[in-house]
Structure 1
């Protein structure tokens, strides 16, 4: 096997570990909520602290890799991830757990920002689509394994082990990256790091998060939102005037790049309802154990894993637009149907709906990534990969916040005036919030389908062929 396929093996393993970490924690949220006596609006911070840290540092990690080398940043990220996992597993209380999640977010951003760029620069054009498809399928494998392994670990060893398991896995990913990844050229050693841009971007992300979190009153939320918009505006102005900016704003003038990013943002925004509220529905409404939750959530990532490589191959022959748009339209209808679930839904019914969501995301994922990476010059592939990871995390971040706010608001409105709700009333209140959250998710998927569909007017086979010839590896 040639060296580039060994490099792909390392990147695939790293992608699997990163995705597994996210999905292990999602299954543990109900248990953490009970053990630490937390409401859903509080336990969401386990997800949000990680997500906002990743979102705020992805661009920084990408730029740092250009300065010191992608191998160092990519492999070093797993050491930071292991440290954060140790802190989380040993956490005696909720604040320490959040500190650990912050450290995990720093570590996870480092391989996330660089994996796709390393793959793209390693493979020639005739093999690149296949390689990216394999890496993309690891997202599904990690998503599939996470709920099942997480449920098993919680039942047998306790919730702490959804964090401890990252230590041996992270060590394996670090070792293979150190041994297999090549030392790459440091093309920007002569440039300074855009520290001001990094600071402004991180501050704007934190301000937006606090505004959306529901932890403040309306006046404070307005102030935080205004401050976030102002800081982000200053960030954009700063970046526009830099010779070596943190984020190259010129990429957004490329129609296929900007529409592909927008479609990805709304696609991942739409998945937050299932990934955050799904385990709570299965445990609190249907009475499932953590292990059962893992198996019942598995059809979604399983279909994603199986369909993503096939859809990538089909997009090479038929073009991506109809696959990506069709997948998101399918998800619109499935998400709407999930909003009307009751307390007596059969496991087979749930498995079928989750599988259809996986089919839809599998149709979208690989063709959209291929379009996005193929739309930019070779010299900007690292930035494109970082931006792709950024919008994915921002979509999940914003989706988590809005879903929890909607759920809590509609659930609380249903229970208003009821001092001691009965079990039936609690379930009905849950389903009231559940329906609101999934209606929002369906709307997000519809917006993603719109951005995907408008590419019909700017994409044809001639343009796709021309893009492929632009992207050739540096030799």
Structure 2
């Protein structure tokens, strides 16, 4: 299911120009076909995670697979732009239900090899990212765009049937009541915040800022309500563990940098250097290729030596990789550039599975669904902010270089783009370096706890 969701996301991005032409809408409008998926997914993640803890994670996961498949069919049948956006929202609800519970299912099924199993998930995620652009380009070139959704149907049906046969639903002995008021406050707060973040890619208009303020206000009200709820939607007690909060923040920071990097770098290859889309795609595929190979290894190592050291090593390598990419030039040979890309990818690949395992390790009994959905929410938050931050840093650096506001690539001036890219990558390196500092704080807290235990003996 993870493979199908990532594959779908990357294929849709490739097909957006074809959809725009056939549906007769402008570029700003067609972007909502992609944006609505991530926004609705984020709004529903925590709710589906809680439902998984209440009714069984496998059951909600299977509901998600069915919804995602049905949403894909609706997307394929959409004849108008408006219907396609609604169908994508249905599809995203299915994605949220399955995403919210997949890590909880893995943790329950493989308690002693959680890192290895989560590493395999990272592999399928990377494979989906690798196959998406190639498969999407092939489909768009030879078939109507509707087929990018039709290919989800057999995969979804197979996933649903295999899930029925293989996965066993574990329901809690005591089922708490559902927090309806918390849900009513949480969903619109996240929708408003993520809508605002998405709109900020086009500028911080007063309406966008107002939307963000309203979202934050509803989120504050949600926290107040949850503090007094008998059966809260969100287990706020887990946030008392500073190490858990650090792990979540580090996840968001690393994914922020990853999203900004993958947003900026294709422009360097295709616009600044003039490399064709096919070759640029192969170069960019080096990133998920390393992730697919290293992810399971890193996860397996974390099962044996603990998660803290691998995540810290990954963060340090990723910081160095981004700093190195900040010195790449227009004439950097490919035999130098590709190893730099792979080195940068190595850092994020080492980090992901152990960090996911650490986050799930903090989950109290009966809250695996909630903690897993919270981890995915932080990942989406990092990615959403990363695209906005990446574009702001890139165009801000370009504007500073040329002396007037810039919001797109300037034909014939790759030097201006390079100034913006260098600034962006160096700032991203500093952001990931901040996560290294937080990881060192976590290590100090662990050391202090171990010392207190040894003294007590």
- TM bucket, shorter chain: 0.7 to 0.9
TM-score w.r.t. the length of structure 1 is 0.82
Partners of 2:182 and 2:225 within 8 A in 1: yes
Q: Which moved further from structure 2: 406-415 or 142-151?
A: 406-415
Partners of 2:183 and 2:233 within 8 A in 1: yes
Structure 1: which 5+ runs fail to align? 1-13, 467-475
From 138, 145, 155, the counterpart of 1:169: 155
* CA distance 1:339–1:196, shift in 2 (3 Å): farther
1:235 aligns with 2:222: yes
Could you give the per-residue CA deviations for residues 212-259 of structure 1, whole angstroms, max 9, x where no partner exists? 323576433332232222111001111111122111110011233211
Report the counterpart of residue 266 of structure 1 in structure 2: 253
Could you give the per-residue CA deviations for residues 126-184 of structure 1, whole angstroms, max 9, x where no partner exists? 34443333333322232333333333333443654433322222222122112221132
Q: Which moved further from structure 2: 389-398 or 16-25?
A: 16-25
Distance 2:98 2:85 in 1: 21
Could you give the per-residue CA deviations for residues 431-467 of structure 1, whole angstroms, max 9, x where no partner exists? 455445434433332222222222211235996xx9x
* CA distance 1:343–1:165, shift in 2 (3 Å): farther
Structure 2: which 5+ runs fail to align? none
From 95, 110, 117, the counterpart of 2:97: 110
* CA distance 1:82–1:407, shift in 2 (3 Å): farther
Report the counterpart of residue 121 of structure 2 in structure 1: 135
Write the mapping of 1:8-407 to structure 2, written as runs, cut at 5 A.
Answer: 14-28=1-15, 38=26, 44-89=31-76, 91=78, 94-123=81-110, 125-157=111-143, 159-187=145-173, 189=175, 191-212=176-197, 213-214=199-200, 218-407=205-394
Instruction: Report SS of the residue matched to 2:177.
Output: coil
Distance 1:38 1:409 in 2: 25
- Following TM superposition, by how much is the alpha carbon of 1:370 offset from its aligned partner in structure 2, in angstroms? 2.0
Q: Which moved further from structure 2: 158-167 or 293-302?
A: 158-167
Instruction: Report SS of the residue matched to 1:236.
Output: helix
- Following TM superposition, by how much is the alpha carbon of 1:111 offset from its aligned partner in structure 2, in angstroms? 0.8
* CA distance 1:324–1:66, shift in 2 (3 Å): closer
Partners of 2:314 and 2:348 within 8 A in 1: yes
Distance 2:362 2:117 in 1: 17
- Following TM superposition, by how much is the alpha carbon of 1:295 offset from its aligned partner in structure 2, in angstroms? 2.1
Partners of 2:113 and 2:300 within 8 A in 1: no
Partners of 2:127 and 2:292 within 8 A in 1: yes
- Following TM superposition, by how much is the alpha carbon of 1:100 offset from its aligned partner in structure 2, in angstroms? 3.4
- Following TM superposition, by how much is the alpha carbon of 1:321 offset from its aligned partner in structure 2, in angstroms? 2.7
Could you give the per-residue CA deviations for residues 28-83 of structure 1, whole angstroms, max 9, x where no partner exists? 456667876755x6665444322221111111111222333322321121222223
Instruction: Report SS of the residue matched to 1:48.
Output: helix
Could you give the per-residue CA deviations for residues 242-282 of structure 1, whole angstroms, max 9, x where no partner exists? 12211111001123321111111111111112333344444
Instruction: Report SS of the residue matched to 1:424.
Output: coil
Partners of 2:100 and 2:373 within 8 A in 1: yes
1:424 aligns with 2:409: no
Partners of 1:57 and 1:109 within 8 A in 2: yes
Instruction: Report SS of the residue matched to 2:217.
Output: helix
Partners of 1:51 and 1:394 within 8 A in 2: no
Report the counterpart of residue 8 of structure 1 in structure 2: none
- Following TM superposition, by how much is the alpha carbon of 1:299 offset from its aligned partner in structure 2, in angstroms? 1.2
Distance 1:347 1:176 in 2: 43
Q: How many correspondences in the alignment? A: 446
Instruction: Report SS of the residue matched to 2:260.
Output: helix
Report the counterpart of residue 7 of structure 1 in structure 2: none
Report the counterpart of residue 11 of structure 1 in structure 2: none
- Following TM superposition, by how much is the alpha carbon of 1:210 offset from its aligned partner in structure 2, in angstroms? 3.5
* CA distance 1:201–1:176, shift in 2 (3 Å): same
* CA distance 1:48–1:230, shift in 2 (3 Å): same
Distance 2:88 2:415 in 1: 33
Report the counterpart of residue 472 of structure 1 in structure 2: none
Could you give the per-residue CA deviations for residues 75-109 of structure 1, whole angstroms, max 9, x where no partner exists? 12122222333444455565444333322221111
Partners of 1:407 and 1:437 within 8 A in 2: yes
Q: Which moved further from structure 2: 382-391 or 95-104?
A: 95-104
TM-score w.r.t. the length of structure 2 is 0.85
Distance 2:129 2:417 in 1: 25
Distance 2:415 2:146 in 1: 32
Could you give the per-residue CA deviations for residues 190-219 of structure 1, whole angstroms, max 9, x where no partner exists? x33222212212211222234332357643
